Structure 1
Amino acid sequence: MAKIAFILLCHRDPDAVIRQATSLTAAGDCMAIHFDARAPKADYDRIRSALADNPSVTFTRTRIRCGWGQWSLVKATLAAARAALAAFPRATHLYMLSGDCMAIKPADYAHAFLDRHDADFIESSDFFTSGWIRTGWVEERLTYRHWFNERTQKTLFYASFALQKRLGLTRTIPRDLEMMIGSQWWCLRRGTVEAILGFCRSRPDVIRFFRSTWIPDETFFQTLVRHLVPETEIESRTLTFLLFTDYGMPVVFHNDQYDLLLAQDYLFARKISPYARDLRRRLGVLYASEGLPLRISDEGRSLFRFLTSRGRIGRRFAPRIWEAESTLGHDRSLLIVVCRKRQVADRLLRAVAAQTGLPCIGYLFTDESCALPDLGGLQSTLAKRHRHRRALLRMLFDYYGSARLVICLDPANLDLMQDFCRDSAPARLLEIDCRLSDSDLIRHATEAGLASAQTPADRLAQLLPALRNDIRHQSDQIREAGFDHHLLLRDTDPPETQARAVAQFLSVSDDTARAITRTTPLFAD
């Protein structure tokens, strides 16, 4: 049975530290605490006094003054790890926490999870190629020496860097290490931590290197675990649920997000707001609870992206160069079917192909598995299809040897509609307006990663109105765009009206249009 020794790095709110330690050790686990030396000694003494009779809590031998982005954070973590290994010989795992982290699963769930997965959980990606660092320095973190705190000694920090750069005082990375990067919130097996501590004793050169590396808590453990542990025994993920905003700031969780947190496929979460007293109270008793039914839907990340992106309608300042300098061809016509219900669009395309012989392609810009011919790899990924959209369509026109091509677009692809309708080649839009039931919306939410089969009904009920409004908003945007050749096909229209819209869209006779709309009932759902 797994037994966790928590490594807690904290610097404030002694009452919260005491509650956290009491809660996590009540279920049979243990904890090693490092309380920042910058914090008042009275707060530290208060924590020690309150937890003095708890045999499952130990403290680091020394308190270290920690600074963001500095080696001191790694040093404090190593000190807490040594204390945990010495005090708790039966601990099988060491789990890194901060004072802002709280359990979102009971202890029995966490222990069973670790028993099933004999692995180290640490986010660990290639430092140079993974793109984990979104903005700012990359190689400079490693190849220059950083002795000052960027936040509290900004002038010295950047002056030191500028001097090294001007004099060419770069350094090399230890040759036997492959540098990795990732979140500092890890859960490692006891043997892995022992191996890291042994490596530190035998390799002072590596310690010297990381002492002057910028933000080493994102690279030190991530690199050494990869160096010391077989890749098959590493899960490159954290067991702590955390989100970041577009500005790189951590998302803070509040009282109304208890159910959301419990539904995520993680053991802990950060950051819990210090003002979310009800959330902290409920999570505080969660870890020691038993037999709690859990439904893991794990839609938190995709739901966050969806909700934060609503209303942020980006418009490019100018067309991309490969779009501005290319055209589909003056003698070609692009026919675009816009429909939320893919099964309806698929029926229409099959009927159009059967009655007219026109080449018809499904949702090639949203469906990775959409059947496309081999176009030299341009069709291989959605990213390539979007990036080279006009070139892709020109190649499809050439491949089929046709002057007309029918494709499907999702209503969310307004940027593609605007791009294609700006082209010198004539383009027509047929928007299919379908009534959407709750089951249709649930299917859409599942396909978009906003929900799963395990998502509780009450949470779905909260999500559906937002989805319905979002879909209505997309339709309004399409109509407000003022496309020259925009036709509408409603499922509530009489058959003759539907056939007339199809005839105008395809430039075919009324009889052919009626055959298309009647051969297979489009709205048979």
Structure 2
Amino acid sequence: MAKVAYILLCHKDPEAIIAQAEQLTAVGDCMAIHFDASASAEAYERIRSALDQNPNVTFAKKRVRCGWGEWSLVRATLNALEPAVENFPRATHFYMLSGDCMAIKTAEYTHRYLDDNDKDFIESHDFFESNWIKTGMKEDRLIYRHYFNERTQSKRFYAAYELQKRFGLTRDIPQDIQMMIGSQWWCLRRRTVEMILDFLRQRRDVIRFFSTTWIPDETFFQTLVRHLIPKNEIENRTPTFLMFSDYGMPVTFYNDHYDMLLGQDYLFARKISAEAHELKARLGSLYASEGVDFPISNEGRNLYAFLTGRGRIGRRFGQRFWEAGSVLGPEQELFVIVCKKWHVAKRLVDQIASETDIPCVEYLFNEENTLLPDLGGIESTLTKRSRHRRAVLRLLFDSFGSDQLVLCLDPANLDALEDFCGDQAKTHVLEIECEYSDDYLIGHARRVGLAGDNSPTETVASLLPTLRNDLGYESERIRAARLDNYLRLRETAPRADNEAVIAKFLGVGEDKAQAIMQLDYLFLD
């Protein structure tokens, strides 16, 4: 059975640290604590006096002052790892934590999970080939020596950096190791940790190199684990659930995130708000619980992106020249069916194709596997089609040998709809207004990744008003755009009214419109 030694780096809130240590060691796991030397002596003594008698808690023999981006964070980790390995000989795994982390699974679940997955859990990507670093320094983190803290000594940091660049004072990366990068929150097996410590005793040059790199906590363990352990024994992900905002700041979790956190396929979460007292209390008692079932839904990141992205309407970048150019001529006629329920629009398109000679395509700008003719490769991916929208339509007109074309579009694609309506071609827009039952909205949430098959019913139910409003808002935006030749087909309208709308939309006679609208199950889910 797995036994975990938690490596806790912390710098504040002694009472929370004491509670965290007591909660995680109550079921037999262990903890090694490094409390930042920059913190007050009184705070450290409070922690020591409360935990010194706990046989499952040990402390780093030497405390160091830690600074973001500095070697000191790695040094502090090593200072806690060494007594953990020495004092807890039965520990099978060593799990890196901060004071802002809390368990989102029980000890029972965690131990079983680690037993079933005999691997090291650490995010580890190629430093140079991956795009893990989004902005700022990349190679310069390594080839120059960084002696000062960029946040607290920015003038000295950049003066030393520019001086080295000016005089070409670069250095070589150790040739026998492949530089890797990833999250600093990991869980490593005992054998791996012992191999790292043995390696460092023999290779002081590696310590010297990393001790003057910038942000080494994102590269040190990531590189050494990949250097020492076969790739098939590494699970390339962090076992701690964490998210970042668009601005690169860690997302903080609060009281109402409890159910969402438990549904994620992770063992811990970071970071928990210090003010989320109810959440901390519930998670604190969770670790020692038994027999708890954890249906994994894993919708956290998609849900966060959905909720934080609402209201950010607008185009981030200007149109590309091939989008802005008028590639469609006035002789072309485009019929755009806009509908959130794709199956409803597809049924209508099938009817139009069977009753008229107008070529039809379905959600070519929304669905990867839409059936399309060969257009020379531009049709091969959704990305290419969306990037060259008007060019794709021109090629479709040419391929079908027709001046008319029916296509489907999701209501979220207002920019594409406005693009087509702004072209020289005559564009007709038919929005299908559907009713959305709770069951449909739940299914929609699962299809788009806002909920999983195992998401708690209460969690999914809480999303329904937001989803319903969001779908309504998409429709409102389309109506507010005041598009020419815009019509609406309503699920709640009498069939005769909808037949009149179809006749006007396609420019067909009454008999043809009746034939198109003859499906009794058009709106069924």
Class of the TM-score when normalised by the shorter of the 2 chains: over 0.9
How far apart are the structure 1 equivalents of 2:488 and 2:464?
A: 25
How far apart are the structure 2 equivalents of 1:407 and 1:501?
A: 17
Quote how far apart the aligned CAs of 1:124 are.
1.7
Look up the equivalent residue of 1:115 and give its one-letter code.
Answer: D
- In the alignment, is residue 155 of structure 1 matched against residue 155 of structure 2? yes
Q: Secondary structure at the match of 1:518?
A: coil
Match runs of 1:61-210 below 5 Å:
61-210=61-210
- In the alignment, is residue 428 of structure 1 matched against residue 448 of structure 2? no
Residues 369-426 of structure 1: CA deviation (Å, up to 9, x unaligned):
2223444443333322222222222333333232222211111111111122222222
How far apart are the structure 1 equivalents of 2:524 and 2:254?
A: 44
Q: Secondary structure at the match of 1:96?
A: strand
Quote how far apart the aligned CAs of 1:244 are.
1.2
Q: Measured at CA, do residues 163 and 286 of structure 1 come closer, stay the same or move farther in structure 2, by a change above 3 Å?
A: same
Quote how far apart the aligned CAs of 1:507 are.
2.4
Q: Secondary structure at the match of 1:152?
A: coil
- Assess if the C-alpha contact under 8 Å between 1:107 and 1:288 holds in 2: yes
Quote how far apart the aligned CAs of 1:519 are.
4.8
Q: Secondary structure at the match of 1:344?
A: helix
Look up the equivalent residue of 2:16 and give its one-letter code.
Answer: A
How far apart are the structure 1 equivalents of 2:317 and 2:33?
A: 52
Q: Measured at CA, do residues 516 and 131 of structure 1 come closer, stay the same or move farther in structure 2, by a change above 3 Å?
A: same
- Assess if the C-alpha contact under 8 Å between 2:326 and 2:424 holds in 1: no
How far apart are the structure 1 equivalents of 2:375 and 2:118?
A: 44
Structure 1 equivalent of residue 340 of structure 2: 340
Per mean C-alpha deviation after superposition, the further-off stretch among 294-303 and 312-321 is: 312-321
Q: Secondary structure at the match of 2:61?
A: coil
Per mean C-alpha deviation after superposition, the further-off stretch among 357-366 and 474-483 is: 357-366
Quote how far apart the aligned CAs of 1:439 are.
0.9
Q: Measured at CA, do residues 75 and 303 of structure 1 come closer, stay the same or move farther in structure 2, by a change above 3 Å?
A: same
Structure 2 equivalent of residue 488 of structure 1: 488
Per mean C-alpha deviation after superposition, the further-off stretch among 302-311 and 171-180 is: 171-180
- Assess if the C-alpha contact under 8 Å between 1:141 and 1:215 holds in 2: yes
Q: Secondary structure at the match of 1:512?
A: helix
- Assess if the C-alpha contact under 8 Å between 2:332 and 2:403 holds in 1: yes
Quote how far apart the aligned CAs of 1:521 are.
4.1
Q: Measured at CA, do residues 318 and 166 of structure 1 come closer, stay the same or move farther in structure 2, by a change above 3 Å?
A: same
Q: Secondary structure at the match of 1:497?
A: helix
- Assess if the C-alpha contact under 8 Å between 2:259 and 2:456 holds in 1: no
Structure 1 equivalent of residue 438 of structure 2: 438
- Assess if the C-alpha contact under 8 Å between 1:103 and 1:269 holds in 2: yes
Quote how far apart the aligned CAs of 1:54 are.
1.0
* Unpaired segments ≥5 residues, structure 1: none
How far apart are the structure 2 equivalents of 1:50 and 1:166?
A: 53
How far apart are the structure 2 equivalents of 1:32 and 1:78?
A: 11
Q: Measured at CA, do residues 71 and 337 of structure 1 come closer, stay the same or move farther in structure 2, by a change above 3 Å?
A: same
Quote how far apart the aligned CAs of 1:229 are.
1.8
Match runs of 1:410-429 below 5 Å:
410-429=410-429
Quote how far apart the aligned CAs of 1:484 are.
0.8
Aligned residues: percent identity?
A: 62
- Assess if the C-alpha contact under 8 Å between 1:327 and 1:425 holds in 2: no
Look up the equivalent residue of 2:43 and give its one-letter code.
Answer: D
Structure 2 equivalent of residue 40 of structure 1: 40
How far apart are the structure 2 equivalents of 1:180 and 1:373?
A: 43
Per mean C-alpha deviation after superposition, the further-off stretch among 322-331 and 216-225 is: 322-331
Structure 1 equivalent of residue 20 of structure 2: 20
- Assess if the C-alpha contact under 8 Å between 1:351 and 1:520 holds in 2: no
Structure 2 equivalent of residue 303 of structure 1: 303
- In the alignment, is residue 407 of structure 1 matched against residue 407 of structure 2? yes
How far apart are the structure 2 equivalents of 1:22 and 1:460?
A: 34
Q: Measured at CA, do residues 331 and 261 of structure 1 come closer, stay the same or move farther in structure 2, by a change above 3 Å?
A: same
- Assess if the C-alpha contact under 8 Å between 2:445 and 2:451 holds in 1: yes
Quote how far apart the aligned CAs of 1:316 are.
4.5
Quote how far apart the aligned CAs of 1:134 are.
2.1
Quote how far apart the aligned CAs of 1:335 are.
1.7
Structure 2 equivalent of residue 49 of structure 1: 49
How far apart are the structure 1 equivalents of 2:402 and 2:86?
A: 75
Q: Measured at CA, do residues 524 and 254 of structure 1 come closer, stay the same or move farther in structure 2, by a change above 3 Å?
A: closer
Structure 1 equivalent of residue 2 of structure 2: 2
Structure 1 equivalent of residue 448 of structure 2: 448
How far apart are the structure 2 equivalents of 1:208 and 1:379?
A: 53
Structure 2 equivalent of residue 359 of structure 1: 359
Look up the equivalent residue of 2:95 and give its one-letter code.
Answer: Y
Quote how far apart the aligned CAs of 1:331 are.
2.8
Structure 1 equivalent of residue 457 of structure 2: 457
Look up the equivalent residue of 1:333 and give its one-letter code.
Answer: E
Q: Secondary structure at the match of 1:149?
A: coil
Quote how far apart the aligned CAs of 1:230 are.
1.9
Quote how far apart the aligned CAs of 1:151 are.
0.8
Look up the equivalent residue of 1:394 and give its one-letter code.
Answer: R
How far apart are the structure 2 equivalents of 1:520 and 1:177?
A: 67
- Assess if the C-alpha contact under 8 Å between 1:146 and 1:214 holds in 2: yes
Q: Secondary structure at the match of 2:237?
A: coil
Q: Secondary structure at the match of 1:368?
A: coil
- Assess if the C-alpha contact under 8 Å between 1:347 and 1:520 holds in 2: no
Q: Measured at CA, do residues 524 and 51 of structure 1 come closer, stay the same or move farther in structure 2, by a change above 3 Å?
A: closer
How far apart are the structure 1 equivalents of 2:159 and 2:124?
A: 31
Structure 2 equivalent of residue 30 of structure 1: 30
Residues 297-327 of structure 1: CA deviation (Å, up to 9, x unaligned):
2211111111111111123563222212352
Structure 2 equivalent of residue 474 of structure 1: 474
What RMSD over aligned residues (CA atoms) do the two structures have, in Å? 1.7
Structure 2 equivalent of residue 498 of structure 1: 498
Residues 343-385 of structure 1: CA deviation (Å, up to 9, x unaligned):
1111011111111233222222222222234444433333222
Q: Secondary structure at the match of 2:518?
A: helix
How far apart are the structure 1 equivalents of 2:185 and 2:401?
A: 56
Q: Secondary structure at the match of 2:517?
A: helix
Give the alignment's TM-score, normalised by structure 2. Answer: 0.96
Number of positions where the alignment pairs a residue of Structure 1 with one of Structure 2: 525
How far apart are the structure 1 equivalents of 2:301 and 2:387?
A: 25
Q: Measured at CA, do residues 513 and 521 of structure 1 come closer, stay the same or move farther in structure 2, by a change above 3 Å?
A: farther
- Assess if the C-alpha contact under 8 Å between 1:335 and 1:428 holds in 2: yes
* Unpaired segments ≥5 residues, structure 2: none
Structure 1 equivalent of residue 391 of structure 2: 391
- Assess if the C-alpha contact under 8 Å between 1:9 and 1:99 holds in 2: yes
